[in-house]
Amino acid sequence: AKSDRRKKVVGALKAAWPHVKLFIILVIYSMFGAVGFWLIEYPHETALVANFTEARTQLLKDMWNVSQVFTGGDWTEEMTILVERYEHTILAAYDGGIDPRGVTGGQAELQWDVAGSLFFSVTVFTTIGYGHQTPATVAGRVFCIFYAIFGIPILLLTLADIGELLARGLRYIAATVNSKLRPNMMESRKDDVPLYGIFIVVFLVMSLGALVMMQMEDWTFEQAFYFIFVTFSTIGFGDLVPRHKMYSLAASLYFLLGMALISTSFSLSQDEVGRLLKKWGDLKASCKK
């Protein structure tokens, strides 16, 4: 009996291996990206921070000089020029890839440390592309293009694999539900999963995730749900990005599951829209006759 159980476990592991293998490849590829982007972008970012610190010191000097020379309306005019110019400096630094809010007293939180580079790599091959941090060097951009060219197909393969497992699970649920509720249904159609069924599953998975994320990130439910939708659909605006990137990576299985679910729903909806358009065309044709 014991060796029977062992055989079963070994059999299950063997069956799971092809799926686990894809996931491991993805993890290795992420780490490769992390090291690559870190090597390319980190030194550049350090230099940017130094430049920005200098610009801030310069502003204070300029303001001091203005205050020594001008008063009244002239003072306001000169100061307005300095302030508006400084706005350009801040936003150029921000667009250039550093966050001035993180630079105080010579200390800076750098985005392109290994953890940040790892999170960035994931946003590339998933095509989410939050854009909260982007390569600022030519080398980084070239690396990014090649990283995407090889990474996106690997991710698509993984998502297709997860999607197939999900479809199996959903068909099993549909068969169980239909056997109980509609015993007269044709046996061969019992495991058909209706489109609205998938949308209900998607909605539940997203709501659960939103409940967890609103705790972790101090977001409202609405914000968390919006963030998860924008992520799963791979739109990835980047207006909301998790502060704690490492646990987001820890939750990567959840994110992969969600992306697979939503891309399945979208391609099923695509078929549905295609059918509707065809029906509509046929209807118009038959009306003409």
Count of residues in contact with a copy of itself, rule CB under 8 A: 67
Q: Which stretch binds K ion (CB under 5 A): 8-16, 31-39, 80-88, 228-236?
A: 228-236
DSSP state letters, 251-285: THHHHHHHHHHHHHHHHHHHHHHHHHHHHHHHHHH
Residues in 234-253 at the binding interface with K ion, rule: CB under 5 A: 236
Residue 115: partners with Cβ closer than 8 Å, 6 or more residues away: 34, 245, 246
Residues in 237-276 at the binding interface with a copy of itself, rule: CB under 8 A: 237-239, 266-267, 269-270, 272-274
Beta bridge partners of 103: 108
Candidates 1, 84, 107, 183; binder of a copy of itself (CB under 8 A) is 84
Q: Is there a contact between 210 and 224 (Cβ–Cβ < 8 Å)?
A: yes
Q: Count other Cβ atoms within 10 Å, centred on residue 281.
A: 10
55 binds a copy of itself (CB under 8 A): no
Burial call 130-143: b when 16+ CB within 10 Å, e when fewer: bebbbbbeeebeeb
CA distance 260 to 166: 8
CA distance 58 to 64: 10
The H-assigned helical ranges of 233-251 are 245-250
Q: Which stretch binds a copy of itself (CB under 8 A): 37-45, 82-90, 166-174, 248-256?
A: 82-90
Residues in 197-236 at the binding interface with a copy of itself, rule: CB under 8 A: 222, 226, 229-230, 233-236
Candidates 94, 164, 172, 247; binder of a copy of itself (CB under 8 A) is 94
Q: Which is nearer to K ion, 103 or 133 (CB)?
A: 133
58 binds a copy of itself (CB under 8 A): no
Contact partner at residue 156 from K ion, a copy of itself, none, CB < 5 to 8 Å by partner kind: a copy of itself
In the three-class reduction of DSSP (H, G, I as helix; E, B as strand; rest coil), residue 104 is classed as strand
Residue 266: partners with Cβ closer than 8 Å, 6 or more residues away: 233
Q: Which is nearer to K ion, 52 or 255 (CB)?
A: 255
Beta bridge partners of 107: 104
Give the shortest CB-32-to-a copy of itself separation in angstroms: 15
129 binds K ion (CB under 5 A): yes
Please give the residue ranges that form the binding site for a copy of itself (CB under 8 A).
Answer: 18, 21-22, 25, 56, 59-60, 63-64, 67, 75-76, 79-80, 83-84, 86-88, 90-91, 94-95, 99-101, 104, 123-124, 127-131, 134, 138, 141, 144-145, 148-149, 152-154, 156-157, 160, 222, 226, 229-230, 233-239, 266-267, 269-270, 272-274, 277, 281
Please give the residue ranges that form the binding site for K ion (CB under 5 A).
Answer: 129, 236
